[in-house]
Amino acid sequence: MSATLPVTLTVNGETLTRLVEPRETLADFLRRDLGLTGTHAGCEMGVCGACLVMLDGLPVHACLTFAVQAAGTEIATVEGLTESTVIADLQRAFHERNALQCGFCTPGMLIAAQGLLARLPLPSRAEIRDALSGNYCRCTGYEAIVDAIETVARRRAAGETAPRFAEEPA
Amino acid sequence: MKARAFDYARPASIAKALAAFAEADGDASYIAGGQSLVPALALRLQAPARLVDIGHIAELRGIAVEAGWLRLGALTRHVDAHDHPLIAAHAPLLALAAPHVAHPAIRNRGTLGGSVALADPASEFPAMMLAMGAEMEIAGPDGTRRVPADAFFVDLYQTALEPGELLVALHIPVARPEHRCAFDEIARRRGDYALVGCGIRLAMSGDVVEEARIALLSVGPTPVRAHAAEATLTGATLDPDAIRHAQAALMDDLDPVDTPEVPAAMRRHLARVLLGRLLAQIAEAA
Ligand SMILES: Cc1cc2nc3c(=O)[nH]c(=O)nc-3n(C[C@H](O)[C@H](O)[C@H](O)COP(=O)(O)OP(=O)(O)OC[C@H]3O[C@@H](n4cnc5c(N)ncnc54)[C@H](O)[C@@H]3O)c2cc1C
Ligand code: FES
Ligand code: FES
């Protein structure tokens, strides 16, 4: 076992320092050390997209980055993006359109979608599919996810904002 | 699925990176974007005792044009190939290839230097280095040198880089007004490694080809330059006959092996079809 190193980074707006083993991925760091389990770990080799987080504002795979490499960066996880309500409209649209079933892929899908719309505010359906090419969903068949993202792109273009996302009472 | 333990160094200069690597007695790896290395570590295909993180070395950054060459620091990311105006203007083949490389999140971290140093024969950027006649700037214990792409890709995952040497920058001759470029690939799904890919740069005078550079990916142990096809095109009028001759000549350039999913004959067929399409696309646009 190699020595731990102190790492300082900003997660969801809070700057913190922790001792980490160099081999610990950012995904494991977020989930185990910080208890932020919204970042999912699936394949742990860059294929499924469940582990996407924003690193300095761009989607990256938390399983393909060691926590030590993230020193000095700003990370936003699905928890932080939920808290700040920037993805409230995406969450609402996913909910309305049943774009999630088990929900395992959803944090990654939301972050991929947010990254896409930041680059390309009104993507075509083909461009949406292309942007999701690294995100696997084993439940929905993708169609509903593409619909939800398309809806949000249109709503944002029309200047609509969504209230904070909260689960409806059963 | 977790990497073996290693120690971690984050040098701030090329000199310190070379020293940090040397200290590990050969049991080290450089890490840039990590988009190929981290999966290899997670699968324990590699287990170096030390990782030398080159991601914070300012000398390895930068995109600039100097005296007819576009210099891309090794840390230039895939997403820059996609978006950067200097790359679009001076190295259009990189911009054309970038959307085919992996997925958006991987392009946000993966570096051109990492892709070229790894030299996966199925990767787009190494083949484009051949198609553009790029030169690789390499730093080692004895100073720096420049190696042309034609001499850089030696064998499967093997390049002119000696262990411990660093790829510093990619130097690309800037595109000239008479250049016509095209890139495409055939893949099972977008973002997958291609079954075959091809990048072309023709220097045209009217509809006559004055110089041709053609490079293919996923057709052998290294990216492959199509010398025979280039020779038939040079001096020819780019018409359907010339395209057919180039397609026939391409068969002398390629010697792929059978793999369980893709027989060699299928790869050769796909390469031929792809070359025909791309040349027709250039001819039509002329
Ligand atoms: C799911 C998935 C799909 C992918 N699909 C594609 C694809 O379709 N096409 C494609 O081309 N690639 C693909 N990739 C690979 C991706 O493009 C990698 O980012 C790239 O190949 C390596 O760049 P990196 O900066 O991440 O390098 P790293 O992973 O950090 O390093 C790769 C290797 O290069 C060495 N290295 C890195 N930089 C230097 C340097 N400056 N000098 C010397 N040695 C160096 C490292 O030691 C290591 O051996 C895919 C990856 C994943 C995970
Ligand atoms: S867990 Fe990171 S891509 Fe699958
Ligand atoms: S909702 Fe189950 S994997 Fe996508």
Domain boundary among A32, A61, A81: A81
Amino acid (one-letter) located at B191: G
Strand partners, B153: B159
**Domains in chain A: how many in total?**
2
Strands A5-11 and A74-76: parallel
Residue A10 pLDDT more than 60?
Answer: yes
pLDDT for residue A164:
74
Fold of B7-53: 3.30.43
Q: What is the percent of chain B with per-residue pLDDT over 90, rounded to a whole number? A: 95
For residues A57 and A14, state if they share a domain.
Answer: yes
For residues A108 and A64, state if they share a domain.
Answer: no
Domain boundary among A23, A53, A81: A81
Please tell me the distance from the alpha carbon of residue B117 to that of residue B114, in angstroms, as a whole number: 5
Q: Nearest CA of chain A to the CA of B54: how many Å? A: 10
B34: nearest CB among A23, A28, A69: A69
Residue A104 falls within a domain, yes or no? Answer: yes
Per the prediction, chain A carries an average pLDDT of 95
pLDDT band at residue A163 under the 50/70/90 scheme: confident
Residue A11 pLDDT more than 60?
Answer: yes
Q: Return the structure tokens found at B120.
A: 């996966």
- In the 8-state DSSP scheme, what is residue B237? B
* Cβ neighbours for B30, distance < 8 A, ≥ 6 positions apart: B17, B21, B51, B52, B53, B54, B117, B166
Instruction: Provide, as residue numbers in chain A, all residues whose Cβ is less than 8 Å from the Cβ of B107.
Output: none
For residues A89 and A48, state if they share a domain.
Answer: no
Compute the average pLDDT of residues B53-71. 97
* Cβ neighbours for A119, distance < 8 A, ≥ 6 positions apart: none
- In the 8-state DSSP scheme, what is residue A30? I
Residues B135 and B148 sit within 8 Å (Cβ to Cβ): yes
Of A25-34, A140-149, B73-82, B186-195, the one with minimum mean pLDDT is B186-195
Residue A94 falls within a domain, yes or no? Answer: yes
Residue A134 falls within a domain, yes or no? Answer: yes
For residues A11 and A77, state if they share a domain.
Answer: yes
Residue A168 pLDDT more than 60?
Answer: no
Compute the average pLDDT of residues B5-9. 97
Q: Return the structure tokens found at A63.
A: 């399983």
Residues with CB under 6 A from ligand 2: A 41-44, 46-51, 61, 63
Residue A168 falls within a domain, yes or no? Answer: no
Please tell me the distance from the alpha carbon of residue B119 to that of residue A49, in angstroms, as a whole number: 24
Residue A52 pLDDT more than 60?
Answer: yes
For residues A137 and A72, state if they share a domain.
Answer: no
* Cβ neighbours for B239, distance < 8 A, ≥ 6 positions apart: B207, B283
How many CB contacts within 8 angstroms connect chain A with chain B?
Answer: 97
CB contact under 8 A, B10 and A68: yes
For residues A153 and A92, state if they share a domain.
Answer: yes
- In the 8-state DSSP scheme, what is residue A167? P
Residues B251 and B275 sit within 8 Å (Cβ to Cβ): no
pTM: 0.96
Q: How far is the CA of B263 from the centre of ligand 2 (A)?
A: 31
Residue A169 pLDDT more than 60?
Answer: no
CATH code of residue A152: 1.10.150.120
- In degrees to the nearest 10, what's the CA dihedral of B64, B114, B52, A24? 120
CATH 3.40.50.720 fits B179-285, yes or no: no
Which of A61, A68, A110 is the best mutation test for B, with the most CBs of B within 10 A?
A: A61
For residues A10 and A77, state if they share a domain.
Answer: yes
pLDDT (tens digit per residue) in B224-280 = 999 999 999 999 999 999 999 999 999 999 999 999 889 999 999 999 999 999 999
Per the prediction, chain B carries an average pLDDT of 97
For residues A110 and A63, state if they share a domain.
Answer: no
Residues B105 and A61 sit within 8 Å (Cβ to Cβ): yes
For residues A93 and A60, state if they share a domain.
Answer: no
Q: Return the structure tokens found at A50.
A: 């469940």
Q: Mutual orientation of helices B240-253 and B264-285 as an angle, nearest 10°?
A: 150
Q: Which of B8, B10, B14, B30 to mutate to test the pocket of ligand 1 (most atoms within 8 A of CB)?
A: B30
Whether the ipTM is more than 0.85: the answer is yes
Please tell me the distance from the alpha carbon of residue A88 to that of residue B114, in angstroms, as a whole number: 37
Strands B208-217 and B196-205: antiparallel
pLDDT band at residue B191 under the 50/70/90 scheme: confident
pLDDT for residue B164:
97
CB contact under 8 A, A112 and B104: yes
pLDDT for residue B193:
87
Q: Nearest CA of chain B to the CA of A125: how many Å? A: 14
Residue A162 pLDDT more than 90?
Answer: no
Q: Which domain holds residue A119?
A: 85-157
pLDDT band at residue A160 under the 50/70/90 scheme: confident
> Does A103 contact ligand 3 (Cβ within 6 A)?
yes
Q: Return the structure tokens found at B196.
A: 């075959």
CB contact under 8 A, B3 and A23: yes
Residue A166 falls within a domain, yes or no? Answer: no
Please tell me the distance from the alpha carbon of residue A51 to that of residue A47, in angstroms, as a whole number: 10
Please tell me the distance from the alpha carbon of residue A78 to that of residue A111, in angstroms, as a whole number: 7
CATH code of residue A62: 3.10.20.30
> Does B33 contact ligand 1 (Cβ within 6 A)?
yes
Compute the average pLDDT of residues B49-72. 97
Residues B250 and B233 sit within 8 Å (Cβ to Cβ): no
Residue A63 to residues A6, A13, B50, B118, B231, Cα–Cα distance (Å): 20, 21, 19, 20, 46
For residues A9 and A76, state if they share a domain.
Answer: yes
Domain boundary among A81, A113, A134: A81
Q: How far is the CA of B128 from the centre of ligand 1 (A)?
A: 15
Give residue limits of the domains in chain B.
7-53, 58-173, 179-285
Give the total residue count for chain B: 286
CATH 3.40.50.11260 fits B58-173, yes or no: no
